[in-house]
Chains A and B, each alone.
Chain A
Amino acid sequence: EIVMTQSPATLSVSPGERATLSCRASQSVSSNLAWYQQKPGQAPRLLIYGASTRATGIPARFSGSGSGTEFTLTISSLQSEDFAVYYCQQYNNWLLTFGGGTKVEIK
């Protein structure tokens, strides 16, 4: 099983600032890495797939990078609606795994 580790667990950021979230895989997942956003009481929403491709309708302030075992999600200028929990997920093999999540909270 590929273990996905996200850091930090909680990120305190002021509106308008940049947020950088990390995700590490226990073995290479190539670029088969997705990021999801989840708000309280809602289902996860796909933000990024293929490590760096934004899903349909996702604003350009969200960007993803990395390959292999190290990945980053960057939110360039946090808006009020971006405060949420973010999960990474690898889909490189049939045993799909998620990270533990990073909560982005208002500083």
Chain B
Amino acid sequence: ELKVEQNPLFLSMQEGKNYTIYCNYSTTSDRLYWYRQDPGKSLESLFVLLSNGAVKQEGRLMASLDTKARLSTLHITAAVHDLSATYFCAVDSGGGADGLTFGKGTHLIIQP
């Protein structure tokens, strides 16, 4: 059974600081997704990582994937309040377009 673990589950940080969220998964997969969820809202796709060594950046967020270590990271650079949200990583255990297995999410609060 595929398991996805995120840490930390809760993170409070100050604006301007850098931090990294980690996502470990238990079985072989080369498809990993990062989503953002604001309170009471649906999931917004941030990154799709499809191969070992993939790195994608959007604004202050950068995601990477190491399939050999079964690890993905979401790095936040010079955090701003607008990035406060819950971030989920999810893994596709099949050959694509299969059901995703999500981590429990990282609740991120960025304080001025």
Are A and B physically bound partners? no
Interfacial residues, chain A to chain B (CB-CB below 8 A)? none
Interface residues of B (CB under 8 A from A): none
